[in-house]
Structures are given as structure tokens and as C-alpha cells.
Amino acid sequence: MTQNLVTAAVLVIGDEILSGRTKDKNIGAIASRCSDIGIDLREVRIVPDDEMEIVAALDALRSRYTYVFTTGGIGPTHDDITADSVAKAFGVGISEDPRAIALLLERIKPEDLNEARRRMARIPHGAELVENSVSKAPGFWIGNVIVMAGVPAVMNAMLDAVTPQLTSGAKTISRGVAAGTLPEGAYASALGEIALRFPDLSIGSYPSFRDGAFHNEIVVRGKDPLAVEQAAEQVADMVVKSSLDRR
């Protein structure tokens, strides 16, 4: 399904990200996937394993964007409180879901299905399950909120599982123009003029720093392929001209 503007937010849940112990890899993966399928990722939040914080963030985000992707907090341990927090945010009950139990039993022997593991089958009422091809314990999808695991391998498997069901929007096309070590300050004014000519495009200048020097890339993004190509051409011409001006 395609509609014109589809937006999303990511909500990362986990003390381990905020403490710096674990470096998040999921935000970038979800951001890239959204770009690939024409969903505009508009906001990301990272909150601790705290029910009030999770519910507040969920409510702020789900009322504002087409989709909210959450990662983290759906394992079997006491600090995994995402499912209960999502149920609370939606004002629905939560209990062991027979479909989830059946999935767990594909990986876990019946005699090993203890109370802790059964926690992974607690699903808010009314949610659809999200397949986990790595380790079976499912994510779920309720309203416009898609709840996924925090372990990147599992998150990616769940993201693959939900992608075909997402409404995709008009795809954003992106063209990069390398500016090499030409300083941003040498082309910023000319670039600003091009940006004014294309108000519907997003034109950004992105420096990176390596070997003691800045290397810049200018990226043109937008929904209209022709406008993106035209702007990228003007940027490329401008970079050549700015380089010559500096000789």
C-alpha cells in the first residue's frame, strides 16, 4: 500500500544504552529501512527501563506519527517491562498468548517452559505477533506501535518480518555530491542559494573528519526525482566553481 506521507518514530528502551555500556545499532538500521521504503523517520527517543517513562514516550509518539517502532525490553528477565508498559499505554489487558506459547515451544522443550520464559509470551490484548526467525520469542504490533527486541540480530529479523506489511510513502530520493576537502565555508553561501531555489528539497552539507582534515559531502534529498537531479547538478557545478575560485 502506498500513501503520500508516512511518518515514524523510534523508541529505544533500555538502561544499558543510556549507561553507555551498550552502543545502539538499531536506530541506524531502522532509519535506513524507513528511507528505503519511503517512510519519513521524524524522531527518536531513548528512555530507561521505567514504566512511567515508557508510557509517556509511547503516548507522545504514537499520537504524532504513522508508526512507532520500539526496541528492547521484551526478554524473560525482571527488567523486561516493555510489553506491560505498552498494554498500559493502550489501556488494554495483557496475558499469556497461546500463539506465543506455541512459538516458544518450537525452540524450548515443554519441561523448560518455566515461569520466566512464559513472560516472553505475555502479549497485550488485541496485538498481532511479529515473527522472530532467530529465536522464536515474538515481537508484537498493536495499533500503530511495533514492538521489537533489542538484540540487533533479532531486531533485524523482526523488522524484515513487518516490512511487507508497512504502508509505504512516496520514496525519498537521495543524491550525494562529494566536495572533498573543499571547506564548507567556501561554498556555504552558494549552497544556501541553491537550497532557496528548491524549497521542497532537503539539502545538507555533512563534514567528516579524518587524517587531520574535514571531508565534506553535500546530500540532496526529496520526493520529486526531477527536482533532486536538477538540484544535485547545480550543487555539482557549484562545487567545481568553488574549487576553481580557490586556486
Residue numbers 149-168 binding its own copies by CB under 8 A:
151-154
Residue 129: Cβ within 10 Å count: 17
Residue 188 CB, shortest distance to its own copies, in Å, is 3
Regarding 221 and contact with its own copies (CB under 8 A), the answer is yes
Can you tell me which of 5, 180, 181, 206 binds its own copies, judged by CB under 8 A? 206
Can you tell me which of 51, 79, 96, 245 binds its own copies, judged by CB under 8 A? 79
Alpha helices in 91-148 (DSSP H): 98-104, 115-119
Regarding 209 and contact with its own copies (CB under 8 A), the answer is yes
Residue 14 CB, shortest distance to its own copies, in Å, is 8
Residue 1: Cβ within 10 Å count: 8
The residue among 98 and 192 lying less far from its own copies, judged by its C-beta, is: 192
CA distances from 177 to 40, 51, 101, 166, 174 (A): 22, 45, 51, 31, 10
| 148, HSE (Cβ side, Cα atoms, 13 Å) | 31
> Interaction with its own copies in 21-50: which residues (CB under 8 A)?
21-24, 27-35, 41-49
C-alpha cell at 68: 512507532
Can you tell me which of 37, 101, 129, 134 binds its own copies, judged by CB under 8 A? 134
What 8-state DSSP symbol labels residue 2?
Answer: B
Regarding 135 and contact with its own copies (CB under 8 A), the answer is yes
| Strand, helix or coil for residue 176 | strand
Residue 8 CB, shortest distance to its own copies, in Å, is 10
Residue 91 CB, shortest distance to its own copies, in Å, is 24
Distance in angstroms (rounded) separating the CA atoms of residues 84 and 72: 13
The residue among 128 and 221 lying less far from its own copies, judged by its C-beta, is: 221
